[in-house]
Amino acid sequence: MKAFKLTIKQRCIQFLIRWIGHWRLKTAHCVGRFVGWILWHYPNSKPRKVALRNIQKCFPDKTAAWQHALARNAMQELGKGVLEAPSFWFKEPNKLRALLRNIHGEEAFKKAYQLGRGIIALGAHMGAFEFLNVAFSDRYPCTWIYRPQRDAFEEMILKARQRTGSTFVPAGILGVQKLYQTIKAGGIVGMACDHDPGEIGGVYSTLFGIKAWTMNLAPRLARVKQSPVFFIYVERLPRSQGYDIHLLPVSNDIYHEDEIIAARAMNQAIEQAVAQCPAQYEWHYKRFRRGLKGFYDGT
């Protein structure tokens, strides 16, 4: 990993992140809601504009009032997510695990794990995903592929994420090789299935009826040993009461040789999860920026 020499400004930001990491959860969420309020009301707020565009296109049959309410709630959930993340990096792990209320679908996940064919855990820009590193990976060690930030904060955040059992490998040839090795050994690998996979790493499938460039790595991994595939997300419970982890089995179409059909299976899992917690999907993410010219014009 490339070493970065921290400037005074960067040291101050690191100190601020660590300080926020020791806030009470209710405090972090309270401040996060305020940040969300700002994101919603600021005249030129890009997150608000992008979220509204995505929601309007994904739910064209809903009223404008419904669409605006969802976007407003999504901004508050976004704010809470940003302010709670440092807690998952720096607080005592046992204190954080006490915030876990339920793991929905764990019985099916356990049975699949015991098959010895490995498991693929698909995440997305949704919910309190950083919570998985302290409340899930201690039970089920997982190797995640990710895109390094390549800045002065990368080392700090990576170290924090890996302190409780998760392993993170950078996207690229070596990272993908590590995923294949883990699957062949019967382990668990994870990845965000709504990331842009680059020019040659995906196919066009539909998400909420819209053409979306979708990664093909997960289906290819799944076919190696017919590994069970689950969509995983962390639901942020109301009034800072804790978190629920949801494990949703992905359709067997994920194994289809037709990569468009396999990609659709992943997008269907996202749609299922969003139906359960619509405000906790990160609607400000430009999911449809590739292949749809002008989709985000004006945002």
pLDDT tens digit sequence for 124-167: 999 999 999 999 988 999 999 998 887 778 889 999 999 988 89
CA 47 to CA 34: how far, in whole Å?
A: 15
Q: Are 142 and 190 in contact (CB under 8 A)?
A: yes
Using the predicted structure, report yes or no on whether residue 35 has a pLDDT greater than 80: yes
> 4 pLDDT band (50/70/90 cuts)?
low
The string of pLDDT tens digits covering residues 216-239 is 999 999 999 999 999 999 999 999
Single out the residue of 159, 169, 80, 161 nearest to residue 127, CA to CA: 80
> 97 pLDDT band (50/70/90 cuts)?
very high
In a domain, 214, yes or no: yes
pTM exceeds cut of 0.85: yes
Residue with token string 């037709």: 258
> 209 pLDDT band (50/70/90 cuts)?
very high
Give 88: exposed, middle or buried? Use CB within 10 Å, 0-12, 13-18, 19+: buried
In a domain, 226, yes or no: yes
pLDDT at 268: 98
Residue with token string 């996979």: 197
- The token pair at 261 is 């059909």
Query: Average pLDDT, stretch 31-35?
Result: 98
In a domain, 295, yes or no: no
pLDDT at 117: 97
In a domain, 121, yes or no: yes
In a domain, 21, yes or no: yes
pLDDT at 264: 98
Span between the terminal Cα atoms of the chain, in Å: 35
CA 109 to CA 98: how far, in whole Å?
A: 21
Percent of the chain residues topping a pLDDT of 90: 89
Q: What is the mean pLDDT of the chain?
A: 95
Instruction: Residue 77: give the domain boundaries.
Output: 8-280
CA dihedral 177→257→232→76, nearest 10 degrees, is 100
In a domain, 254, yes or no: yes
- Domains: count for the chain: 1
CA 280 to CA 235: how far, in whole Å?
A: 8
